[in-house]
Structure 1
Amino acid sequence: MSKVDRRILKTQDAIKKAMIELMSEKNFDDITIQNICDRANVNRGTIYFHYQDKFDLLDKIIESHINELGEMCEWACEMDWKDATLVFFEYFGRNYLFFSTMLASKGAPFFRSRFLQFLIQAFKDEVDLTKEESSNLSEQVILQFMGTAYVGVLEWWLTNGMPYPPHVMAEQVGTLLDRSV
């Protein structure tokens, strides 16, 4: 596999950062390619060289984060709930602008549902229906409950400016998840 030029990576990062910053300031529908160019300090041709349009750019940003979460899940999901949750809350904290913008943005409601589906899939292997208290519950109901609760707590944490550090959130959310499964 050939190595990608660092200049290309810097340019793509600047374009992605510009898009997220703009989405935190205004509605996605109101963002133009020229807005992105001006914020990223690149010309239109550069954006079109890397992305078909602003929708493709947003899709690639979202997929990049979902893929990264998936890679983290491969090793973090082997940990107990609290340790795994810490890994994820630290990631959400490092990527605060993206997640707070995507979960709060009316221009990207599909992110919330895409993220929820990712979580449900990730939780699928963790649900233990052999527990006595879970024996008469539907796996789908449990998974929807866990995923929706996780997204809701994350959304609350981000929109309130991360009032607790990641390790406190991991402790509390990890305990709740442990009780749920």
Structure 2
Amino acid sequence: MAKVDRRILKTQEALKKAVIDLMSEKNFDDITIQDLSDRANVSRGTIYLHYMDKFDLLDKLIEEHINVLREMCKSAAELDFTESTLMWTQYFELHYSFFSMMLASKGAPYFRGRFLDLLIEELTNEVEVTKGKNEKLNENLLVRFIASAYVGVVEWWFTNDKPVPHPILAEQLGTLLERNV
């Protein structure tokens, strides 16, 4: 794999930070390329070297975080739900500004859908509907229910400015997942 120039990475990181910062100040639709250029301290032309437009920038930023969460799922395959949820909540904490902007504001409803889709994809293989308390339940309905509840709790956590520490969130979400999957 070719080594990426540090200047390119630095520019892309500045643009990602700029879009998140600007979204905390105004609606995404009101952010201009000039706003991004000014905030990231790069020329407008530089932005277009890396991204087609502001939507492409946001899309790539969302995709980056979704891919990290997907990889975490793969690496946590042998962990229980509490341990794997702890990995996610640590990541949420580390990237608080991004996730709070995506989940606690009206700024990017597209992210919520992508996040929900990821959870549905990951939980589909975990749900057992052939025996026990979930016997005879519709698998798709159960998976959607659990994934929607998970997204809702994470949204609540961000909307309410982390009312419980992330390890407590992970422990309790993990327990709820264990009970229902």
TM bin, normalised by shorter chain, reads over 0.9
State the distance in 2 between where 1:77 and 1:20 align.
31
User: What is the CA deviation profile of residues 67-93 of structure 1, one whole-angstrom value per residue up to 9, with x for unaligned ones?
Assistant: 111111101132001100100011011
Q: Which residue of 1 aligns with 2:50?
A: 50
Q: Which residue of 2 aligns with 1:95?
A: 95
Which residue does 2:142 correspond to in 1? 142
Partner of 2:86: 86
What's the counterpart of residue 12 of structure 1? Answer: 12
Please, what TM-score do these two structures have when normalized by structure 1? Answer: 0.97
CA contact (8 A) 1:82 1:175 kept: yes
Q: What is the root-mean-square deviation in Å for CA atoms of aligned residues?
A: 1.0
Cα offset, 1:103, TM superposition: 1.3
Runs of 4+ residues deviating >4 angstroms: none
Deviation of the 1:136 alpha carbon: 1.3
Alignment correspondent of 2:165: 165
Instruction: Please name the residue that 2:116 is paired with.
Output: 116
Match of 1:128 in 2: 128
Aligned-partner Cα distance in 1 for 2:4–2:178: 41
Where does structure 2 lack aligned partners over 5 or more consecutive residues? Answer: none
* 1:82 and 1:171 in contact (8 A); partners too: yes
Deviation of 1:141 after TM superposition, in Å, equals 1.0
Task: Normalising by structure 2, report the TM-score.
Answer: 0.97
For this pair of structures, how many residues does the alignment match? 181
Q: Deviations over 1:99-120 (max 9, x none)?
A: 1111133242111111101110
Unaligned runs of 5+ residues in structure 1 are: none
Amino acid at match of 1:104: A
**2:73 and 2:122 in contact (8 A); partners too:** yes
Q: Tell me, yes or no, if the aligned pair for 1:27 and 1:105 is still in contact at 8 Å.
A: no
